[in-house]
Structure formats: structure tokens, C-alpha cells
Amino acid sequence: MRHAILGLLVAAKVSVAQPPAPLITGIPGEELGHSMVSADFDGDGLIDIAVSAPRHQLEGTYTNSGRVLIVRGGKGDLSERQAQWNARDGNCRFGASLGIGDLNGDRAPDLLVGAPGSDRARGEAFVLRGGKGDGEAAFGGDLRQAEVFLSIKGIQELGGFGSSIAVGDLNGDGLAELIVGESGVSVGTTKNSGRVWVFAGRKAWKSGTASLPGEGELAASLVIVGREGDSLGGRVLAEDVNGDGISDLVCSGITGTHAGVPESGAVFIWMGKKDLLSNSTLVLGKDEADYVVFGKGAGNLGFALASLDFDGDGKKELLISEPKRSVKGVKECGAVHAVSIGRIGPKCDLGAAELAGVVSRFGMAPHEGFGSSIWVGVAGGEPDLDLVIGAASAGRVILLEDPADLLLKESRAVVGPGNARGFGTSAVFAKDEKDGPGHLFVGAPAGVKVFRY
């Protein structure tokens, strides 16, 4: 792989799709479309969409409470296929983060929801069980009354527990760990360090609500503390990026300082292994990650994370976005980097002139915000994985179909209308109907709209 720049040369081979009317229009100010995930939550064989509005005002009283809207796959009246999860109280920002994963091992995807503003920003993380029968994720509820499969409450005011959330088997025992970011916390005298909590997988999770640091079965097995200014845990990911069959832990410190520049960002990677959870606490600066990738300038490296095996060698490249990256005089055009773990050194500086093991694709215009979102999955009827990248400040997304390289020139761009501010902040593809290849869903939270193509 190579470190390369691709900018305006792409434009000639990009086909542009004009948007239809929005599928869903939200309430002004609620930021509908902030986050979005797709999975078959109800077990009917069709893909459902979960889309958040973290500043939703509950019943005209509770500001910034948040909601998560579920759109079940199928045809017919949209109102009959919608459900909604409402937050417990005001300022929760319920839905500020979303994730999917099978936490309880029933082979049905569960819906993961973060509410980092809950309880004076102590935060809370929720696992809503998917599947047929007792699955709850696809059918909505009011958290002021409804009991859910699992919720964990943060304990430090302004810590923002639930700022990110993911699931993955990090030690190869066949049981999925629950991973939760707490990006707003200061630990001891280390200001804005951020923190990541890992709860070991188990055969039977005890349903209910727990508070950090946890009691009994819900005690955390690993806590990782960031460096000063890192805001560690702004994003978390559990994916096998070295091909050994065990998920690796990837954590973003989006606001971290590098080379004296705040907001450069850094991404820390720990290889999954049998004894990964044996160290109860890791403190960055004293304890090292297996790999660290540093951003350049005030680019906010790690704003979005994903993985994709471009070359079919069985090892996924780690996709890292840097939406405020500037390059060759083009200010804040943004970038997405494909990093091959094992081909980079333990410390990888993306500002280096020559860099083995990294391919970089940059935005096309100033202040485009390329990399505001990344989605990997099957877009269409083919089994090969495709890649969608958002550029929210420019109001567009690009779709790379079955890419062999991040620099693939044949791509499709979807441009949002003028009133769809923030178009591309979130995007997923879903086979939401039995017949047909599926649809691309794009969120525009500043315009409180979700579009379907």
C-alpha cells in the first residue's frame, strides 16, 4: 500500500445522484440523523434502521433528552413500521452514540445506545436486546417506565459515559465484551483524559441497571485512561484488524495533542489476545498501546472508525477519518486513511512524507469535512463489501462499490439538497425490502432529515 493524495482528479469519474424527498423529517433542533446503524433487530430477515435525534425535547419539557427512531424493514405505510425509544429525562442526549453487536450470544444483533448527558453528564449506556420473541430493540419504549435488557450508569459528573459504545470478543473466548467510552472525564489531575471501560463477556448477562465501577457480574474488567487532552473514548471499535480471528480494540482520542498541536487526535490500538483483560487499569503515557496512529495539524483524527479488507488477504485495513485535515493549502478538506496493521510501526505519524502501510484519500474542497462518517457493508445484491464516506460540511456522500483500494476512482456521489444541512453526518445501506438490492440512508441532522435512495 502507499501513502497518496487523491483530490480533484476523482471528480470526472463520479456519477451524481439527486436526492428524493426526505424519508423522515424531524422536529427543528432535535438533530435527527445524528447517528444511524442498520441490522435485522426483529429477526424477520429484513434490515431495520435505527436513527437518533439526541437533542429531541421530550413532551415539551425536557430539553436535549433525545430519542432513537426505529424504521423496520418492509413495504407499506411507513408509520406502521416505525417505533421510538424515548429517554428518561432531560439533557440525556440519548442516542448521541449508537452501535450494534450480539452481546448475549443469541445470534441476534442488539442495539447499543449511549446517553452521555444523563444525570448531570455522568452518562449512561444501554443494551436493547434484538431478535424474535423477547427482543425489544425494534419495538420502542419509554425509558421512564420500560425495563430494558441492560443499562450501566456513569459515576463522574461531566464524564460523559456512553459517548461511544461497541461490542466484540477481545480475548478469543467466544464471548462478546461490552466497550463504553467516557470521553469527557478527567482522571485525577489529568484533565480531559477520557476513559474507556471494558466489561468482560459472559454466558448469561444479568439484566438490569448498574453503576460504575460496577458490582459483582457487571464489574469492569479493564479500564483505559487517556493522556491529558485526549478525550479518549470519543469513538471505540472492536474489529479483527490483524487477521488472527480475535477482535482488536481501537480507541480514539479525537482532541489529543501531537507535535504541540491540540486537536490533532490519536488512535490507540490493542491487539486482542487471551490475557488482554488481565490488566485491570491501563494509563496511557505509562502503559503503551500496541499501535498508535497520530494525526497531523488540528485534524481530529479518529472522528470515525471502521475496517475493510481491501485486498482480500484476510486482514482488514483500519479505516480512520480526519475530517478537519488540511492538505496542500486546501483547508479542512478532510481525509480518510486505510491503515494496514503489521505494516506500520508501533507509532505511526500521518504527517510523515513517506509512510508504508497507509493509503489516504483526501477531500476535494476547503471545509468539506470529508470523513464525517464511514460505513462498511453490502450495498446492493453482491456479497462483496462496499464503502460509504460522508462529507457533511459539503453535504455529500460517496459510495465505493467493492473497492480494491481506497483510491478507487469509479465512485458514486450523492449530494444533498440545500435545506439538508449536515447531509452525510451519518449514512448506512440496508436491504430493507425483500425484493430489490436495498437503499442508501443518509442523515442530515442540522436539517433534521433522513433521506433514502
Sequence-ordered list of residues with C-beta below 8 angstroms from that of 370, at least 6 positions apart, any chain: 321, 323, 333, 334, 335, 336, 361, 362, 363, 364, 389, 391, 394
Q: What's the maximum distance between 2 C-alpha atoms anywhere in the chain?
A: 59
The confidence band for 445, taking pLDDT boundaries of 50, 70 and 90, is very high
Section 16-26 average pLDDT: 76
pLDDT for the residue numbered 256: 96
The confidence band for 183, taking pLDDT boundaries of 50, 70 and 90, is very high
The confidence band for 100, taking pLDDT boundaries of 50, 70 and 90, is very high
Q: Looking at residue 221, what DSSP letter applies? A: S
What is the per-residue pLDDT across 303-349, written as a single tens digit (0 to 9) for each?
A: 999 999 998 888 999 999 999 999 988 999 999 999 999 899 999 99
**Helix and strand tally (H, E) in the chain?**
1, 33
pLDDT for the residue numbered 6: 33
Whole-number CA gyration radius for the chain: 20
Q: What percent of the chain has pLDDT over 90?
A: 73
The confidence band for 436, taking pLDDT boundaries of 50, 70 and 90, is confident
- Comparing 61 with 45, the larger pLDDT belongs to 45
pLDDT for the residue numbered 77: 84
Strand 14-17, strand 24-25: pairing? unpaired
d(CA 99, CA 43): 17
Section 83-90 average pLDDT: 94
For the cut 60, the answer to whether the pLDDT of residue 61 exceeds it is yes
pLDDT for the residue numbered 278: 87
d(CA 240, CA 361): 22
Record the cell numbers describing residue 344, joined without a space.
Answer: 506500520
d(CA 293, CA 315): 18
Sequence-ordered list of residues with C-beta below 8 angstroms from that of 392, at least 6 positions apart, any chain: 323, 369, 372, 373, 422, 423, 424, 425
pLDDT for the residue numbered 193: 98
pLDDT for the residue numbered 68: 98
CB atoms within 10 A of CB 382: 11
pLDDT for the residue numbered 302: 98
Q: Please, are residues 173 and 114 in contact by the beta-carbon 8 Å criterion?
A: no
What is the per-residue pLDDT across 273-315, written as a single tens digit (0 to 9) for each?
A: 999 998 789 999 999 999 999 999 999 999 999 999 998 888 9
For the cut 50, the answer to whether the pLDDT of residue 10 exceeds it is no
Q: What is the pTM of this model?
A: 0.94
How much is the mean pLDDT over the chain?
90
For the cut 90, the answer to whether the pLDDT of residue 178 exceeds it is yes
CB atoms within 10 A of CB 5: 13
Q: How far is CA 252 from CA 67, 144, 182, 289, 403, in A?
A: 25, 32, 11, 12, 25
Map residue 333 onto helix, strand or coil: coil
| Among 10-14, 49-53, 117-121, 194-198, the least confident range | 10-14
Record the cell numbers describing residue 337, joined without a space.
Answer: 486513511
pLDDT for the residue numbered 328: 87
Record the cell numbers describing residue 385, joined without a space.
Answer: 463489501
The confidence band for 5, taking pLDDT boundaries of 50, 70 and 90, is very low
For the cut 90, the answer to whether the pLDDT of residue 14 exceeds it is no
